[in-house]
Every structure is written in C-alpha cells, then in structure tokens.
Amino acid sequence: MTTRDTTGERVTVNGSEYAVPTRPTVVITVDGGATSYFSAALDAGVMPNLRDMLAGGAFMGEGLSEMPSFTNPNNMSIVTGVPPAVHGVPGNYARTEDGAERLLNEPSALRADSIHSAFQAAGHPTLAVTAKDKLRRLLAHGGVPSVSSERAHELRLEAYGIDSITDLVGRPNPHIYDWEASAYAMDIGLAVHRAAGPLTLVYVSLTDYVQHHQPPGSALASRFYQAFDVRLGHYLAEGFAVGITADHGMNAKHHADGSPRVIYLEDELADLDPKVHVVLPITDPYTAHHGSLGSFAWVYVTADKRAAAMERLAEVPGITEVYGGQESAVMFELPRNLVGDIAVTSDRGTVVGRSRVFHDQAALPSGLRSHGGRYEQVVPVIVSEPLAPGYLATVQGRPLRNRYIHDLLLNGLRGPCHVGVGR
Ligand SMILES: [Zn+2]
C-alpha cells in the first residue's frame, strides 16, 4: 500500500473546489439522526469516542437539511454539495411532467456529479456504502464504487477486486429492518479501506429504522448510538478525518393511543375539486418505516381551484405552510419541473396523507415517528477536528447546512494534513 503525496491538489465539482486530503476522510450520514439522539446518547455515557472527540476540540453545530426533509434529496445534496434545484432530486418519489409517478432511485434523476465521482475520476480512490440499497445506484453515479448492507450478500466490488463483501466483513449482513444494518454499513467501509485501500474519500449512509421506531434515549436508540460510537472509534484509530451529519431529524407524529395524527389532504379537498390528487414524496420501498406518511406533500388540483384549495388548506389545524408549486421551488431550492401545484408542510406532531381510503388503516404504523417538514430540518453537523480560523472567517455568515459537510471536512480543517482552498 502506498500513499501518493496529494498536498495542494484540488478537485473542482459543481463550481466548488475541494482539497484532496492527504489522509483518509469519511462522511457518515446518520439517517434520521436528529441532534437529540446524539445528546441523549452522550448524556447516557454510551458515546465515549464522540465525547472525547468533542472534548478535543471537534466542531459540532446544528445546520439545515434540505426541504422536504427526506432521505434521497439530502443524501444527494451531501454528496454533491449543491441543493436539489441543481442535483435534480427533490424527494424519494415524484410526479414527472408526463404525469407518471416514480421513485427517484435511478441515476437518470441526477443532474450533478458527486464529489466522489470527481475524486474517483481524478485518480483518488473512493467508496460509497449505504445501508439502504435504494440509494446505491444514485451514489454510484459517475463511477463511484458502491455497495449496500441490504444486498451485501450478492454484490461485488469489482473496482477493488472484492468478490464477497460478507466474507470481507466476516459475518452475514443483517436484514434492512435490523437495528444493526447501519453498523454493518460502517464496518463495510472500514473493511474495504483495510483490504484494498488506502481510500481517499469514503461516504457511509445509514438507515433510519431505529429512529423511526424509538425516541432519543430509548434502549434501542442507546444500542444503536453505542454501536455507532464503537465504529467511530475504529475510523479515528485508522487515521480517518470524520464528518458526521444527518439527512433529516425525526419526530413523534401520533396521538396518545399510538394512532398516527394524519391530515388526509384529498379528503379535505374532495368536495372542492373531485380531481384532487396528492403525491407523497416520502414514498420509498421501506414502508414499514413510515407507511408513506411524512410532513410534506404535493397537491395537484384543477387550475381554477388552486387559490381556493390553498386558502382552505391554510385553515387546517396542523398544516404549517402552504405554497404554490413554483413558489416552493424558490423557497426550498427545488427543481422546477418536479414540484406539484401546491406544497404543504405539517407541524411537529402531524403527518399528511392522501385519503383515509387510500391508506390501509389496518396497516398504519402504531406510534408513528416520521419527518419531511420544517421541524425535522435541523440536523447535527460534526467534524472530528477543530476548524481553521481562516476557514471559519471565510464561511462566517453562511448558514450551516448538511450539504457543506464535505467543504468543512476537506477545506476547513487546520493542521499540516489539510490545506484550505485559497484560504
Ligand atoms: Zn432518511
């Protein structure tokens, strides 16, 4: 294994320059990892490595994720450094201009290159690991070697000559609805680095199964963050610079009896416009997580009914924001061709759905925890070392966002291993 001297090298992607680090660097996205989970785990004493990292001057702040606060748009923003308007993925699911509805899991949805694909093309080895296979092809776009925990038993990593991921990790991959699927993703990243590295830039995206099911401080959450912390220690011991963020937060969205607190938008508007149609951009293959109920929806209505529909929706308790589609594209930096006629967000404790009939009442999750709105937009942004004063001065006044995590980590660290871009 030889390490090439990359001092002073830069890679430009989507209009931003990133310094090529002289040591391995990883960003870990904790799916649904609201700051409250980290705080509770730190308070419970189950994250000693994170505690020591913070005591040593690591940077920890809170920043914004992309709206709607869903998995795919945010993972794409984190790996491209740009908003959905530029990378092209405004949700997990969307209605396209031809009226068809589809999952946004295909690389054809992407309009921007990832930082990883640019590094890979420049000869700096990268790897993307995702717990959820739905993200794998998006992350692989542009030639990034990519694997998932979910399908680790049947995927190969040809770029690094690895035929069996599970043999490399040394144990079978857990089911995607197993709390350990995320820890397994972290283990894959480190195992590949050790076997075929050194890797320059690694991305690990976890799954929010635990966060959808248990609140901060619960037994399952403690186990999850403890397992996370053990792996964080492994990455730090291996010499990695580590960035940690989340794609969105997570809140309880149910009544005291456990039944979901839902506003059925098609039912609210049916008498005004029988043609009303609602598209739920949280929709993905993992319905056990959320039953397709989140705090953001697109409403499609007959053109001359739009103003009245917006007025009526604004009156519904639990709905917090109502925008025209193009207005929402400006507000949330979304691709203009993939927004609905009306954008609706709901409050901390409420989700929006289609109709009572559409959502199978028997199959609705009990004790629903979900995301998608403003109240899940704030996420932690953590970098394993102090940021350089010169870098901080340059970005002063810029809001902290999860999409800047690679900028912070590659351009912002002080010390001889990292040379800031023009700073
Ligand atoms: Zn997510």
- Give the pLDDT of the chain (423 residues) as one tens digit per residue: 455 677 789 999 999 999 999 999 999 999 999 999 999 999 999 999 999 999 999 999 999 999 999 999 999 999 999 999 999 999 999 999 899 999 988 899 999 999 999 999 999 999 999 999 999 999 999 999 999 999 999 999 999 999 999 999 999 999 988 999 999 999 999 999 999 989 999 999 999 999 999 999 999 999 999 999 999 999 999 999 999 999 999 999 999 999 999 999 999 999 999 999 999 999 887 766 778 999 999 999 999 999 999 999 999 999 999 999 999 999 999 999 999 999 999 999 999 999 999 998 777 888 999 999 999 999 999 999 999 999 988 888 899 999 999 999 999 997 644 443 333
How many angstroms separate the alpha carbon of residue 71 from the centre of ligand 1? 4
User: How far is the centre of ligand 1, averaged over its atoms, from the C-alpha of 64 (Å)?
Assistant: 14
pLDDT at 422: 34
The pLDDT value given to residue 393: 87
**pTM summary value:** 0.95
* Ligand 1 geometric centre to CA of 208 (Å): 6
Task: Output the DSSP codes for 240-265.
Answer: -EEEEE-S---EE-B-TTS-B-EEEH
pLDDT score for 288: 66
**Distance, CA of 220 to CA of 237 (rounded, Å):** 26
The radius of gyration of the chain from alpha carbons, rounded to an integer in Å, stands at 21
| Helix and strand element counts for the chain (H, E) | 16, 19
Query: What pLDDT is stored for residue 3 in this prediction?
Result: 58
Can you give the pLDDT at residue 284? 82
207 CA → ligand 1 middle, Å:
7
Cα dihedral 306, 340, 66, 174 sign: positive
* Ligand 1 mean position, distance from CA 248 (Å): 6
Distance 192 CA to ligand 1 centre (A): 24
Residue 297 vs residues 12, 309, 346, 378: alpha-carbon distances, Å = 35, 14, 9, 19
Question: For residue 70, how far is its CA from the centre of ligand 1 (angstroms)?
Answer: 5
Q: Give me ligand 1 centre to Cα 378, in Å.
A: 13
DSSP state letters, 208-238: -HHHHHS-TTSHHHHHHHHHHHHHHHHHHHT
Structure tokens at 312: 């009526």
Spacing, Cα 289 to ligand 1 middle (Å): 10
31 C-alpha vs ligand 1 centroid, how far in Å?
A: 4
Give every strand in the sheet of 342-346, ordered side by side.
277-279, 296-300, 342-346, 319-324
Q: Are 339 and 347 in contact (CB under 8 A)?
A: no
Residues 239 and 23 sit within 8 Å (Cβ to Cβ): yes
Structure tokens at 231: 């792996």
Distance 246 CA to ligand 1 centre (A): 8
Determine the pLDDT at residue 415: 61
From the CA of 370, how far away is ligand 1's center (Å)? 9
